[in-house]
Amino acid sequence: MPIHDTLIIGAGFTGLGAAIKLKQAGVDDIVIVERSDRVGGTWRDNTYPGIACDIPSLLYSFSFVKNPTWSRAYPTGSEICAHIEDLTDQFGLRQLIRFDTEITGLTFIESTGVWTATTKGRKRFQARTVVLASGPLADHKFPEIRGIDSYAGHKIHSAAWDHDYDFAGKRVAVIGTGASAVQIVPELVKTAEFVKVFQRTPGWVLPRLDPTMPAAVQSLFAKVPATQEFARQVLFWGHEASATALVWKSPLSSVVARIGKAHLRRAVADPWLRRQLTPDFTPGCKRMLVSSDYYPALQRDNCKLIDWPIATLSPVGIRTSDGIEHHFDAIVFATGYDVHLSGPPFPVTGLGGRSLQQDWSGHAQAYKSASAHGYPNLFFMCGPNSGPGHNSLLVFVEGQLDYLVAGVTTILDNDLRCLDVREDIQRAYNQQIQRRLSRTTWMSGCNSWYLTADGFNASMYPGFATQYLRQMREFRYEDYTAVEREAGRRTTPVSRTATLA
């Protein structure tokens, strides 16, 4: 069995980005495994009506993959998928991908410094370094609502849309009012007989200004790429500034609240509905919702917001705690994902047989979100505490790419058996992260998927993107234990990219 230089798990945005950057750094022996038959990750899997990104396309893309032809400010899901397909071909990545290959386990062989991956088929892969790019929102599950199995109508989860189901003339429920629901509801009301939206917590909704990209601008971006980069920078700094309102509670948070309330006042005339839709938590605590058609959709004659708690599902529909039974042909669960806050959905076995799932069963921890002690030569994409609340995820991912390229090339160039982050360094880093997190809006009392059931935040980065990028540009070798492959001696590695300016 060949031992590859790098195994990348997942062919979504982040796994493909890792392959591009590693190839550019001279790492050629790369294999990418993908459980599906296409690239695209969460954007391939989520195809619900109305799907689009709530971060502008110029920022929700890699700075090193130019696409001057984005059709509008906020890209639709299908446009993002097409872009991911394009970059796969543009950078010659397709031949590196093994499709329909689902990893079932990953084990580090200490004596050789090689990771072995088992798959659902009988195929195995070996590699000296691994990039875990399977994504935190790759899987979904139905929520644990009483009576859910008794419901006899059609159940659809937002993350696995049933395109064969015809909503025309149907009585439909949507459970959930998060980022997915505010995109789905305006589409469903166009076809369904009626839609009832079951809200547990009203969120902050900001208007979405989504102009189409004029042909002249597209042509300017194509001819003078610096103009597109300039536009990206303007968006980057605009989002960066919003951290002062969304990541930390400040006077600017009340400005955001005022904008949200003004949007609600302008869009919703009925004072009772306005009251039902008014959030009672600090803006930013949950993900901000961006939509200009959600409030109008809720006020259509065939739509109704229900904010009585759900008591149980019944064979015919949903019974709320006021005793009313609502009858439905279909229930759409826009209730979120099976978020992987405790590691990827397969066992990972590190030094001395330790298990990542066990190590993280309390709370997930990594160093700079990228390395975990006891799991050498392994790099996490979107690892613990790497999530942004105010800027593009892909900006943060670019920092992770810089970091893993420094790590992987150091392991290969120095012929290391093992590059393992020190436990004391990881602990100190996480103590500092948790201290900083305690001052953020995410910890201000609302309930969100950012937190574990016991209220621990293992998902968000408590700072500006610029701070995150700065820390990721510096790969500090003194923070790691390095062992040579041949002699088995501890060593101080030399790097070509230790500090990426």
Q: Which amino acid is at 60?
A: Y
**Residue 184 or residue 416: which is nearer to ligand NAP going by CB?**
184
Question: Which residue stretch of 2-10, 85-93, 247-255, 329-337 sits at the interface with ligand NAP (rule: CB under 6 A)?
Answer: 329-337
CB 22 within 8 A of CB 408: yes
How many angstroms from the chain centroid is the CA of residue 93? 22
Minimum distance between the CB of residue 318 and ligand NAP, rounded to whole angstroms? 10
Check binding of 181 to ligand NAP (CB under 6 A).
yes
Let me know how long the chain is. Answer: 501
**16 lies in the binding site for ligand NAP (CB under 6 A):** no
Per CB under 6 A, the segment of 65-73, 80-88, 175-183, 350-358 that binds ligand NAP is: 175-183
Question: Long-range contact list for 49-54, CB < 8 A, 24+ apart?
Answer: 49/161, 49/183, 49/184, 49/187, 49/188, 50/183, 50/184, 50/186, 50/187, 51/76, 51/77, 51/78, 51/180, 51/183, 52/76, 52/77, 52/183, 53/77, 53/80, 54/179, 54/208, 54/288, 54/289, 54/290
Contact status: 188 vs ligand NAP (CB under 6 A): no
> Cβ 117 to ligand NAP, closest distance in Å?
27
**If binding is defined by CB under 6 A, does position 141 make contact with ligand NAP?**
no
Pairing of the two strands 124-132 and 114-119: antiparallel
Residue 81 or 96: the one with the smaller Cβ distance to ligand NAP is 81
53 binds ligand NAP (CB under 6 A): yes
Closer to ligand NAP by Cβ: residue 99 or 449: 449
Q: Say how far apart CA 363 and CA 343 lie, in whole Å.
A: 10
Figure out which of the listed residues 87, 137, 173, 460 binds ligand NAP, where binding follows CB under 6 A.
137
Listed residue (75, 74, 19, 80) closest to 45, CA to CA: 80
Report the nearest approach of ligand NAP to the CB of residue 108 (Å): 31
Q: Is 54 in the site for ligand NAP (CB under 6 A)?
A: yes
Q: Is 143 in the site for ligand NAP (CB under 6 A)?
A: yes
Residue 238 touches ligand NAP, criterion: CB under 6 A: no
Pairing mode, strands 103-109 and 348-349: parallel
Q: At 281, is the secondary structure helix, strand, or coil?
A: coil
Alpha carbon distance 53, 64 (integer Å): 19
Smallest gap, in angstroms, from Cβ of residue 203 to ligand NAP? Answer: 7
26-34, 226-234, 256-264, 332-340 -> range binding ligand NAP (CB under 6 A)? 332-340
Q: Is 180 in the site for ligand NAP (CB under 6 A)?
A: yes
Residue from 178, 260, 343, 344 touching ligand NAP (CB under 6 A): that is 178
The site map against ligand NAP for 269-308 (x = CB under 6 A) is ------------------x---------------------
Q: Which stretch binds ligand NAP (CB under 6 A): 117-125, 226-234, 253-261, 330-338?
A: 330-338
Closest CA to 8 of 471, 400, 423: 400
Residue nearest to ligand NAP (CB): 178
Alpha helices in 392-454 (DSSP H): 393-413, 423-437
Question: Residue 1 Cβ, how far from ligand NAP at the closest point, in Å?
Answer: 37
Q: Are 346 and 120 contacting, i.e. CB atoms less than 8 angstroms apart?
A: no
Contact with ligand NAP (CB under 6 A): which of 69, 107, 126, 201? 201
CA R_g for the chain? 23
Q: How far is the CB of 57 from ligand NAP (least distance, A)?
A: 11
Backbone angles phi, psi at 187, to 5 degrees: -80, -45
Is 119 or 177 the residue whose CB approaches ligand NAP more closely? Answer: 177
Least CB distance to ligand NAP at residue 465 (A): 16
User: Distances from the Cα of 432 to the Cαs of 138, 462, 463, in angstroms?
Assistant: 29, 10, 12
Contact between 200 and ligand NAP per CB under 6 A = yes
CA atoms within 13 A of residue 228's CA, in its CB half-sphere: 27
Size of the residue set binding ligand NAP (CB under 6 A): 23
Does 127 help bind ligand NAP (rule: CB under 6 A)? no
- Give the span between the Cα atoms of 479 and 425, in whole angstroms: 6
145 binds ligand NAP (CB under 6 A): yes
Tokens 């601008």 correspond to: 217
| Site membership for ligand NAP, residue 50 (CB under 6 A) | no
Contact map string, positions 62 to 101, toward ligand NAP, x by CB under 6 A? ----------------------------------------
Residue ranges in 441-470 that form contacts with ligand NAP under rule CB under 6 A: 447, 449
Smallest separation (angstroms) from ligand NAP to the CB of 48: 9
Q: Distance between CA 363 and CA 341 in Å, rounded?
A: 8
Contact segment (CB under 6 A) with ligand NAP among 169-177, 276-284, 292-300, 399-407 equals: 169-177
Q: Which of 208, 218, 182 is nearest to 58 (CA)?
A: 218
Q: What is the DSSP string of 285-329?
A: SSPPEE-SSHHHHHTSTTEEEE-SPEEEEETTEEEETTS-EEE-S
Q: Which residues here bind ligand NAP, judged by CB under 6 A? A: 53-54, 137, 143, 145, 158, 175-181, 200-201, 287, 310, 334-337, 447, 449
